[in-house]
Amino acid sequence: MQKNETQSLYRVNEVEIVYRNKVPYQDRIQITQSETAYEILRQCWDENRIELVEQFKILLLDRRHTCLGVSDIATGGITGCVVDPRIVFATALKTKASALILAHNHPSGNLKPSEADIALTRKLLQGGKLLEISVIDHLIVTPYNYCSFADDGLMPG
């Protein structure tokens, strides 16, 4: 095998992690209650899709629970969507988030969490513990109201 052939066998992509927050620290919104999180999420949700398909988003927070941003994680169908924990935590790590608020909509308008909603919350709580990223709430969002797992005592222990 010639030298050039050997070198091409070991070619790999270089990975670079870059993070820029364009909102100055003093201008970031601090989230101290679920209602504030809901208002931020409602501004970010596509009005044409909130009652059509289920979507999953995360609010990314720093140590003081100021909002670093909102990220779309998954879009599904009428009755559910598949959330990949690797995408959730890759996003959190990229933004240097210390905490997360999970959120998804129920196109039906029903605010009652399903067993799948609770199981996903439990799974993401476990992943967060491993990475030292707190999962502090999970909101179910509709155009008119919301359910907060934390406020309603539904966060798995």
CATH of the domain at 64: 3.40.140.10
Three-state DSSP at 147 gives strand
Structural domains of the chain, count: 1
Q: Rounded to whole angstroms, how far apart are CA atoms 125 and 150?
A: 13
Counted residue by residue, the chain has a size of: 157
Three-state DSSP at 14 gives coil
The answer as to whether 21 is a domain residue is: no
pTM, two decimals, is 0.89
pLDDT by residue (tens digit) across 113-146? 999 999 999 999 999 999 999 999 999 999 999 9
pLDDT by residue (tens digit) across 20-35? 888 888 899 999 999 9
Could you tell me the residue range of the domain that residue 127 belongs to?
33-148
The answer as to whether 84 is a domain residue is: yes
